[in-house]
Structure 1
Amino acid sequence: MSAPVVLVPGLGLGPESYARTVEHLVTPYHVVTLPGYGEPAGAHEDLHPRALAVALAEKIRERSVLVGHSASCQIVVETAVRYADLVHAVVLAAPSGDARMSSWVDRTVRWLGSAVPDSPKLIRTVTPQYVRTTLPTMARAGEASRQHDLAGVISQVKAPVFIVRGKHDLLATAEWVQRLAELSHGEARTFDTGAHMPVVTNGPELAALIERAAALPETS
């Protein structure tokens, strides 16, 4: 019997971002939004991945495959470390969090460069989601994620880890994804198409990987 799936949208995105992935899922799933990741945040809410991991854990009903996209991968990894009993496996799609890309300028240039292969067809998809989350919340959540050391945490994950990226992704580079896979003793893969939005551009392939993770035998 396959484990259920919990999907966390990327920074500023909502459940709609996973539409082209979940239409290919057979395993039961639900999408969890969080402040900065589909929901606006209150003025004093802590948006650091460690704090949001607590909020995510409270919404997980049973041992599940946790799926993150971009900056939400950091939240998923923190959850897998702190609440290991809730996590069957981890799937990270286009994980950001490379501390070597320390400046906003570098990240913005890479984000724009990654967006070019997928534009303009994604603009109408993501804009309403960004509006709902709000730009101030996204800026705060983005800054909190920038201060998080994903490479320093991922080695503590005990569950199986699968990491994927699109061929043209300049944020989640092949080197970065491979480094995370080595640190977590996980599996890295680059899709032949797409960039930083594999949840949209590579839905069938991502869904197949999630299904494989869900079908893994449970480990103690």
Structure 2
Amino acid sequence: MVLIISCKNACKNKWFQPSDYIDILRMADELSGSFCTNSSEPANDSTVLEIISTVMPRYYPKLKFDRLITSLEAKVGYDILMADFFIHRNLPKHEKICLVVVQKENLDVSSCIASPQHVSFLVNGKGVDKRTNVSMETGPQFPTDITKMLKYGANIVQAVGYFTANYIIAVAVVNNLMSFDAPKLGDYAQPVTTDLPDSDSDMLLEGPSRVSLKCPISFRRVQTPVKGRLCKHHQLHGY
């Protein structure tokens, strides 16, 4: 299978005559059908780029998406997906190649960048750290750097397991931003409250409250206190 994939990439780089690479590509498709399900189709690049361009500035503001190498689309259900891609020797050493997994629905919530819990991702036959059933990380994840798992020439990315939603799986060049400007924080706006009738206000009792100087998220001392515009809690968290 690896030999066929190497030949397939050689065809894409026009190493064979057109009359020859048609047969080679047909053989590659037949063999891949024995290893993957029929739904192992490349994702629509425009859809993948649209989703990545949406989640990158929202959840990874210090990372920059440079270019897409290959992608797959996973649908709900059990699946075995595979995509092959070629790494050239002239790849700049500073470039970082990452595995990006995003749920296509609910991009407004951070759970869309959590790895599907019943799916294992492999690159060249080796499990991707924190994205396999033996070392799974729950919650949102950063794009996984797989540069050291790759080799010059043909490479394979696989996804095996049960998908509970529709996902896009992308191998892309993602680098750190050289400079990052934090968004400007606005002034806190006191939430608008509705006055209750006198009969109801007599029943309200307000007791003492304690506010910690530690951020409830990082558990460190708050340096820059912030809170949501509509938040009614007294406790602040650090920025």
The bucket for the TM-score relative to the shorter chain is under 0.3
Larger radius of gyration: 2
The structure whose RCO (Cα within 8 Å, separation 6+) is larger is 1
